[in-house]
């Protein structure tokens, strides 16, 4: 049995990792400052993990959390391009200073390996597709620059201190537990939420921009593979995590509307600053070195996600009815 520290454990990806790591019989220490995370994501496992409300920039407390830990899965971040444009200093503190804080604490505590949640936004709008790890990064937003800076810190800590570190560039992750209430929510969660409310979803731009939408189970699998791969093969390196296929926002909306029997066309507005037009992962290196293979296709994952949102809506209606009956 290994001991894992998951930062951002109350978030969408962090909580999914916590559930999986527990199912594998390992010990989980989970930390979150609950700024973006939702503790209800942990309701069914909260008694089975060591959960602590801590900000990753609280150096002394973080170092204590790292004591005796084998693997750190660093997911904590303010993960939003628009917010990074609006508040670059705030997001820098969380995304760059926070990552440095995690690496220092892991180094000082003798952690074996850190797996870092990097971002495909580091590629920018390269004209060639798909995006491979040898491409020179070209970040278009403060968020992309911040996540790229985190990669360089992970690499440097491997070369200078011998702290094993693997960077996983996530491509537009979606799935159950993804929040939909924030203006910074992922587009699939936002589409689902608005459609179920009977509202017409908004698309920034013409909807022809494309993304390699990646179901959460694929990301969980990649993290576990990154923990187990030989250090000489993966430490200080970057790997794409996606499906290797892209879909436009218009295609995505049409499919979701079909699943939910929603007839209205989306509304379109001006493109957002910092948004990438097209994104698709080249999985050659991830397959060869990590043994990564997407467990779920885009359509399979989307159907599962829509099903989850429908279950949440049904549950909310049931609870509301029970409350009215009791009251």
Confidence of residue 182 (pLDDT cuts 50, 70, 90): low
Which element (helix H / strand E) includes 306? helix 298-326
Other CB atoms within a 10 A radius of the CB of residue 233 amount to 11
- Listing DSSP states for 47-95 in one string gives TTSEEEE--TT-HHHHHHHHTT-SEEEE--S---HHHHHH-HHHHHIII
What confidence score (pLDDT) does residue 320 get?
Answer: 46
User: How many helices (H) and strands (E) in the chain?
Assistant: 12, 13
* pLDDT beyond 80 at 156: yes
- Tell me if 115 sits within 8 A of 226, measured CB to CB: yes
Residue ranges of the alpha helices (H) in 116-176? 142-161
- Listing DSSP states for 204-261 in one string gives ESSS--EE--EEHHHHHHHHHHHHHS-HHHHTTEEEEES-S--EEHHHHHHHHHHHTT
What share of the chain in percent tops pLDDT 90? 87
* pLDDT beyond 80 at 315: no
Angstrom distance (rounded) from CA 48 to CA 30: 11
What confidence score (pLDDT) does residue 318 get?
Answer: 56
State whether residue 43 is helix, strand or coil.
Answer: coil
How buried is 61 (Cβ within 10 angstroms: 0-12 exposed, 13-18 middle, 19+ buried)?
middle
Across the chain, what does the average pLDDT equal? 93
Q: Which domains are present in the chain?
A: 3-177+214-244+278-297 (3.40.50.720)
Cis peptide leading into 130, omega within 30 of 0? yes
Confidence of residue 186 (pLDDT cuts 50, 70, 90): confident
* pLDDT beyond 60 at 203: yes
Return the active site residues. Answer: 143
- Tell me if 192 sits within 8 A of 177, measured CB to CB: no
Structure tokens at 254: 């049409």
Structure tokens at 237: 């390196």
Nearest to 302 by CA among 132, 144, 176: 176
**What global pTM score does this model have?**
0.93
Q: pLDDT tens digits, residue range 238-287?
A: 999 999 999 999 999 999 999 999 999 999 999 988 888 899 999 999 99
- Tell me if 143 sits within 8 A of 99, measured CB to CB: no
Q: pLDDT tens digits, residue range 99-115?
A: 999 999 999 999 999 99
How buried is 17 (Cβ within 10 angstroms: 0-12 exposed, 13-18 middle, 19+ buried)?
buried
State whether residue 38 is helix, strand or coil.
Answer: coil
């Amino acid at each position: 049995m290994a001991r894992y520290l998951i930062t951002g454990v109350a978030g969408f990806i962090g909580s999914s990792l916590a559930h999986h790591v527990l199912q594998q019989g390992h010990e989980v220490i989970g930390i979150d400052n609950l700024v973006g995370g939702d503790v209800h994501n942990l309701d069914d496992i909260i008694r089975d993990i060591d959960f602590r409300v801590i900000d990753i920039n609280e150096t002394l407390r973080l170092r204590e959390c790292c004591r005796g830990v084998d693997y750190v899965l660093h997911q904590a971040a303010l993960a939003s391009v628009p917010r990074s444009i609006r508040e670059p200093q705030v997001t820098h503190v969380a995304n760059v200073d926070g990552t440095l804080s995690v690496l220092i604490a892991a180094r000082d505590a003798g952690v074996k390996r850190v797996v870092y949640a990097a971002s495909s936004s580091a590629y920018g709008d390269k004209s060639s597709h798909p995006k491979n790890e040898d491409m020179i990064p070209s970040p278009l937003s403060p968020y992309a620059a911040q996540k790229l800076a985190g990669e360089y810190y992970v690499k440097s800590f491997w070369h200078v201190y011998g702290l094993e570190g693997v960077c996983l560039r996530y491509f537009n992750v979606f799935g159950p537990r993804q929040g939909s209430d924030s203006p910074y929510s992922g587009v699939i969660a936002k589409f689902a939420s608005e459609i179920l409310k009977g509202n017409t979803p908004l698309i920034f731009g013409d909807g022809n921009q494309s993304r390699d939408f990646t179901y959460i189970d694929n990301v969980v699998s990649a993290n576990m593979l990154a923990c187990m791969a030989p250090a000489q093969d993966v430490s200080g390196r970057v790997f794409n995590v996606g499906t290797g296929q892209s879909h436009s926002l218009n295609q995505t909306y049409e499919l979701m509307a079909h699943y939910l029997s929603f007839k209205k066309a989306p509304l379109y507005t001006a493109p957002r600053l910092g948004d990438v037009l097209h994104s698709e992962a080249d999985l050659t290196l991830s397959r060869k070195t990590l043994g990564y293979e997407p467990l779920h296709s885009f359509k399979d994952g989307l159907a599962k996600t829509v099903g989850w949102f429908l279950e949440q809506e049904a549950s909310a209606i049931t609870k509301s009815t029970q409350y009215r009956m009791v009251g």
